[in-house]
C-alpha cells in the first residue's frame, strides 16, 4: 500500500512538472451551466437510458455464463474458457463492423438490428445451451451482435453535439452501472425462478431497450428547446 501511494505521488509530481496546462480557446470558454447541459438534455438522457437497459440485458448471460452453459460444458473450466474466448474474439469483430455500419447507415438501425438479433439468441438459450457445439455458435453470435452496440450508441450521442466529451463520459459511466445491475438482476432471477430464466430476462430487457431506442430517436427528431 505504501509503495502504491508513493507511486501515485511521483505520478502527480510528474504531471505537474512536465505536462503543460491546457488553455481553452474562446469558443470553448463555456460556463458551468453550458458544460453540464447534457444532464438536462432529454435527447442525451434518452440515449443513456437505452444504453443502461441494453447493456444490463447484454451482460446478464455474460455474468452468469457458467450457469447458462453448465450442461454444455459439464462444469469444466476449459470449455468455459473456450466459450469466453470465442465470445471475446467475435466481440472485437462485432465492434469494428458495427462502427463501420454506423458510419454508413447511422447508429439507430444498427442498434435496432443488434437488439433484435441478440434478443432472439437469448430467448433460444434453452436450445443452444444443452450441447457444446451449439453453445460455441451461440457464443460467436453473442459477441458479434452484442458487443456491436457500444460503437453505434456512442455515434448517436456524438451526433447530438451536446457537449460530446461529457456525454461520452456519461455513456461510459452508465455502461459500468449496467454491468453492476446485470449481476444484481441476474442473481435475483436465478434465486427466484432458476437458471432457465436468464435468457428470457435478458431477451425482455433487450426488447425494452429497443423501445427506449426508438423513443430516443423521436426525441432527437424533435426540435430541441
Tell me how many degrees the CA angle 212-64-53 measures, rounded to the nearest 5: 10
Would the pLDDT of 208 be above 90?
yes
Q: Give the pLDDT mean for 52-66.
A: 93
Region 23-52: what's the mean pLDDT?
A: 67
Least confident of 73-77, 176-180, 212-216: 73-77
Burial of 54 (0-12, 13-18, 19+ CB in 10 A): buried
Residue 23's pLDDT is 54
Q: Residue 225 — pLDDT band, cuts 50, 70, 90? A: very low
Give the C-alpha distances (Å, rounded to integers) separating 83 from 107, 141, 149, 160.
28, 11, 20, 37
| Mean pLDDT of the residues in the chain | 83
CA dihedral 207, 213, 215, 221 (to 10 degrees): -150
Q: Which residues contact 100 (CB under 8 A, 6 or more apart)?
A: none
The model's confidence at residue 217, banded by pLDDT at 50, 70 and 90, is confident
pLDDT over 70 (residue 21): no
pLDDT at 24 over 70: no
Q: What is the DSSP letter of 136?
A: H
Judged on CB neighbours under 10 Å (0-12, 13-18, 19+), 20 is exposed
Query: With respect to CATH, is domain 48-221 assigned 1.20.1250.20?
Result: yes
Distance CA 169, CA 123 (A): 32
Q: Which of 33, 29, 10, 65 is nearest to 199 (CA)?
A: 65
Could you give the CA distance from residue 138 to residue 114 in angstroms, rounded to a whole number?
14
Higher pLDDT, residue 219 or 24:
219
| Spatial CA neighbour of 118 closest among 96, 97, 100, 91 | 91
Take residue 104 and report the three cell numbers written for it. 454508413
Percentage of residues of the chain with pLDDT beyond 70: 78
pLDDT for 77: 83
Predicted TM-score (pTM) above 0.85: no
Residue 142 pLDDT more than 90? yes
Query: Does 167 or 23 have the greater pLDDT score?
Result: 167
CB atoms within 10 A of CB 72: 21
Positive/negative CA dihedral, 89, 203, 169, 26: positive
Q: pLDDT tens, 67-119?
A: 999 888 888 888 989 999 999 999 999 989 998 998 888 889 999 999 999 99
- 150 pLDDT band, cuts 50/70/90, is confident
- pLDDT number for residue 26: 45
Amino acid at each position: 500500500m505504501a509503495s502504491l501511494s508513493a507511486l501515485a505521488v511521483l505520478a502527480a509530481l510528474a504531471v505537474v512538472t512536465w505536462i503543460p496546462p491546457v488553455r481553452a480557446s474562446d469558443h470553448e470558454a463555456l460556463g458551468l451551466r453550458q458544460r453540464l447541459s447534457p444532464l438536462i438534455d432529454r435527447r442525451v438522457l434518452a440515449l443513456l437510458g437505452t444504453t443502461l437497459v441494453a447493456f444490463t440485458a447484454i451482460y446478464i448471460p455474460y455474468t452468469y455464463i457458467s450457469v447458462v452453459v453448465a450442461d454444455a460444458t459439464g462444469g469444466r473450466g476449459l470449455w468455459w474458457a473456450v466459450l469466453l474466448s470465442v465470445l471475446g474474439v467475435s466481440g472485437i469483430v462485432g465492434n469494428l463492423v458495427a462502427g463501420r455500419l454506423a458510419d454508413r447507415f447511422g447508429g439507430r438501425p444498427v442498434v435496432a438490428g443488434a437488439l433484435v438479433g441478440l434478443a432472439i439468441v437469448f430467448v433460444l438459450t434453452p436450445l443452444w445451451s444443452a450441447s457444446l457445439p451449439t453453445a460455441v455458435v451461440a457464443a460467436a453470435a453473442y459477441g458479434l451482435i452484442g458487443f456491436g452496440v457500444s460503437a453505434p450508441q456512442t455515434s448517436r450521442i456524438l451526433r447530438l453535439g451536446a457537449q460530446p466529451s461529457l456525454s461520452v463520459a456519461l455513456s461510459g459511466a452508465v455502461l459500468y452501472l449496467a454491468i453492476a445491475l446485470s449481476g444484481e438482476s441476474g442473481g435475483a432471477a436465478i434465486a427466484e425462478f432458476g437458471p432457465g430464466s436468464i435468457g428470457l430476462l435478458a431477451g425482455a430487457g433487450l426488447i425494452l431497450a429497443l423501445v427506449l431506442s426508438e423513443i430516443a430517436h423521436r426525441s432527437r427528431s424533435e426540435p430541441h428547446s
